Amino acid sequence: MGEPVNRTILLLDIEQFSRRDDVVQAVLRRTLNTVVDQTLVAAGVEATQQYREDRGDGLIVLLGGDVAKTAVLRSLLTLTPELLHDHNRLASRSAQMRLRMVLAAGEIAHDPQAGTTGGLVGHDLNQACRLLDSDALRAALTEQADEQCALMVSTVVYEGVVRHGHRGVRPELFRPTEVKVKDGVLSAWLHRANEPSGSTEPNGPREPRELGEPEGPMGPGESKEQADGARQAPAAPRAQVDERPAGAVFHFQGAPVVRGSLVGGDQHGVSGGQVTGDVVLGGSVAKGGPQTGTENGGSAS
């Protein structure tokens, strides 16, 4: 067996491959190789810098140490989904293809005695294969129904590449996850195109509230200063309503019947004075004792 050498590990697996018939499987395998070819060419990877093993429903691709992981990751995040989209928009329903992908790194040796069955040996490769087959990655692809692929990276790739935010790589779109395996738990980072990892609320993480700051959302197009001012401003005083009715007011003792608008009879000192005798209003007679008028003219109530 040869000496182990550090390699970038790229693993790809076609979703629901075994459910297709032989003809469709052959088409999908050719398409997968074409997608990988174009992805690696865009990342600047030469044919001499890669080693591939066909796994039937997927591929193992090992890249040389002189290949930039940033370029490979950027191509996987941008170009690969577009290539899959181009295929799927023209393919029949039975030939649709979506991929699970893992990008990792580690020490790998080649055993020439293995022959055509594959001679790759290495703990890091085994762990990467477990990530590819994990329930977490399968669930991510199932949940993202509108996405063409789901990508998981190992902690080594995240710490060495992703978290630094190189061009085309957004760390906030990766969230940590744990993969349970038979001999323990593996840590990894899952790319979620529609779910930033720092988001704890529908509109993203909220800034810490200062002591004494009132809670409550801001209105559309409203700045924080405007919202604070609106919350702290005292309520406007209620307008004072003049409860005194407009026009003349008459007070009658008894139950007068008023019809029409003409006041007949003798009146003396209507403004604040006392009216004696019967008052005829439009032909009706208001019976009773003294009536006191408080205003000049107007209507009766």
Q: Is residue 221 part of a domain?
A: no
Q: Is residue 213 part of a domain?
A: no
Domain boundary among 125, 159, 191: 191
Residues 165 and 252 grouped into a single domain: no
What domain range is 273 assigned to? Answer: 248-301
State how far the alpha carbon of 109 is from the alpha carbons of 73, 116, 279, in Å.
23, 16, 123
pLDDT at 259: 56
Residues 10 and 104 grouped into a single domain: yes
Residue 88: count other Cβ atoms within 10 Å of its Cβ.
16
SS3 (DSSP) at 150:
strand
- What type of residue is 60? I
* Cβ-contact 161, 70 below 8 angstroms: yes
pLDDT at 182: 81
Q: How far apart are CA 148 and CA 86, in angstroms?
A: 10
Domains of the chain: total: 2
Q: Is residue 156 part of a domain?
A: yes
Residues 176 and 50 grouped into a single domain: yes
Residues 116 and 21 grouped into a single domain: yes
* Cβ-contact 43, 75 below 8 angstroms: yes
Q: Is residue 225 part of a domain?
A: no
* Cβ-contact 196, 173 below 8 angstroms: yes
Q: How far apart are CA 50 and CA 63, in angstroms?
A: 5
Q: Which residues pair with 188 in a beta bridge?
A: 154, 177
Residues 150 and 17 grouped into a single domain: yes
The secondary structure of 233-295 as a DSSP string is: SPPPPPPPP--SPSS--EE-SS-----SS-EES----TTT-EE-S-EEETTEEE-SS-EEE-S
Q: Is residue 268 part of a domain?
A: yes
pLDDT one digit per residue (tens) for the chain, 301 residues: 778 999 999 999 999 999 999 999 999 999 999 999 999 999 999 999 999 999 889 999 999 999 999 999 999 999 999 999 999 999 999 999 999 999 999 999 988 776 555 689 999 999 999 999 999 999 999 998 889 999 999 999 999 999 999 998 999 999 999 998 888 899 999 998 776 444 444 344 444 444 444 444 454 455 555 555 545 555 555 555 455 555 555 555 555 555 554 455 555 554 555 555 555 555 544 444 444 444 444 444 4
Cβ-count burial of 236 within 10 angstroms (0-12 exposed, 13-18 middle, 19+ buried)? exposed
